[in-house]
Structure 1
Amino acid sequence: MAGTPPPNPDGTPDEAPDAPGIGAFLPFVLLGAGAVWETVDGSLRPGWLSWAGLAAMSALYALTVITAFRRRTMPARIALAGLAAVVFGLSIVLGGAWYYLFPLLGVACGITLRGRAVRIATAALPLGTALVVWAGGGTLESILAFSWGTFSAGLVVAVILHLHMVIGELNQTRQRLAEAAVAEERLRFSRDLHDLLGHTLSVIVVKAEAVRRLARRDPGQAERQAADIEAVGRQALTEVREAVTGYRAGGLADELAHARDALAAAGVRARVRRTGPPPAARAEALLGWVVREGVTNIIRHSGATEAEIDLTGLTLTIRDNGTDGPQPTQSGSSPDGPAASGSGTDGPRPAESGGPQPAGSGSGLRGLAERLGQAGGSVEAGPHPGGGFQLVATLPPGV
């Protein structure tokens, strides 16, 4: 019997979709069966007042439940106040079976009220019930029975609806966490593909240009460059497949060797130095991404003739002597297109901003900053005091 859950004046989330609905609480009106029987039997006098009271009670209870579950807070509370007036008034006047309607009033309070209001109601209503029953000449047993029935009815209903609200909130939170995990995985995958393909396509473009220049005057060298293109393409295909499955673990030594070859093919004289103990596996993978992105930027954007890659412990520094800024992206071309098209993966180099700054002005450097930031590291890029451009990546100990 699912239905729209009752209102929540405190602004808390909706209840679970399978929370008890209107149909689950309307049958509680049968608690007035005793008053109906005594009215028909003639035990309650005057009879017209009892019939009118029963009609008003039934209508107000139904209105309270319906408006509460339709999230009409103020009408529901007004109907509840009317129901309380009818129950208390006729219980004082007629007594007898009308005392059985106090638990019905407790149920209505548990449905309509939330937070502090329901706590006050479930505490005050049993006291009011006890006073009415005592004033009507009820015994101690009847006073305790009606008071406890009123208290437990309101408390149980309020707790049940609160638990369904909490379940609904947990379901919503779980859904949001699942959506966040999917978004994070998409971001990771896009970063991996950008870093993988950006570097590889840059190397392929450089080697293809070399093949075009050497094709006529040195066919043998051109054939070797073409073979390198084939090898790079096969390696890129393997890396993309591994990235898709999420198991790519880039070796730093391999990345440094690839970087030296790629820079040499682009006409950049490279010096690579490593000092200190070898990094752990995770640090190697992260620093391998830095090498890949830094070399890609040198090939695409710098116009450099010399480059230096220095790894000291968990600090990786990549410098070049380039002076040229990036060429503007051609109209209609992708910002991640080949270097030969005049576009770059990273937009304007941070060197043009006039000073070192955290990486983040381009998609590649921004991806590096996010990737290393998740491990507690940092990436800074900017002009080197001695000329050219410098990229510094640092990881904390223990990575």
Structure 2
Amino acid sequence: MSDVGIGQRPENARQRTVKSLWTGIWLIYLSAPVTDLVSGGHSAGAVVAGSLGLAGFVVWYMMLLFRTGRRDQVRPVLISLAALAAESALLVLTLGQEWLVLFVYVSIASGSALPLRLSRWTVPGASALMALLTLTVPGDRWSLLGGLLIPALLGGFAMTGVRELVRTTIALREARATVAQLAANEERLRLARDLHDLLGHSLSLITLKSELAGRMLPGQPEKAAQQVADIEQVSRQALVDVREAVTGYRRPRLADELAGARMALTAAGVAPDVPAGPPDLAGVPEECESALAWALREAVTNVVRHSGARTCAVELLRRQTLEGPVLELTVEDDGSGGAGDGPGNGLTGLTERLTKAGGTLEAGGTRRGFRLVARVPGAEGAVLGSGA
């Protein structure tokens, strides 16, 4: 993405340009000093010196704003702000009241670059210095003071709020990354514990029987052969246990797929009609739940990629048939197509998966678009026929 999120530093030239434009647009209020340089009747030397001073002020000001949210030392920022304030005072005293607006930017930079414990003092300080200088320059002092003092105070304290928002956003982003890392570590530990429980006993038994068979080989080949047969049996069982464990880790859950379907359809610009809340899966075998979850994932993928639909309805119902209770999933859209590459790919795989779970699959076009209906047994031991 090319946009810069709150609390994120620009990562490429485009993001730096966008942030610079959003920051620099407020420099339009420096038109008063620019106008004064052009038509203020100053000498050529004063115009050159004022132009250089204004350019340096803008560069320094932008650098301070780009430091917002960084964990730098406070002293360099304070020194920079003091230098900006001194430069602003010098320009006001030498060139006139049009340059008082620089203190509004000093106040804003102070609120942006300093923590709240300091900016609550520096913002009023910069505003007070501006007020003091207003009384020393000729012109309508009170109207000038009223037009600049409020923006200086409001702008400075508004930037303190922005800085706190940036700081909080950074902290939340770091906390979220930490939670994700901890969750990944916990999942790895759980996988390690499960594999240890599954394989620890089997591998220990295989090791003992291998040692025993090695000692029996010279004089007792029959008993050694029996030990080798036992090793083969234990190894096969361990392999079955590992496969079942891995299948459990990979098994999709219908509740997760329903939530994922709602997000995927919304992201694709398709209005979703998806059941809210966890589905009622009481008595439904895990294999049947997984088959329905795969069917929902495949159907939603086809809707997003191929259908061009505007709406998609997902319905999950329990039905009582002559063959027993049935859990039925219906996915229907109003697009022009939805089978993707046709029954040769995804639908064929779904049919095989549902058949293995004792269920059935129906898919085809309707007057509105495309509809997929997947059915699985709603109880252990039930098997559906093709006409369920």
TM-score by length of 1: 0.47
TM-score by length of 2: 0.48
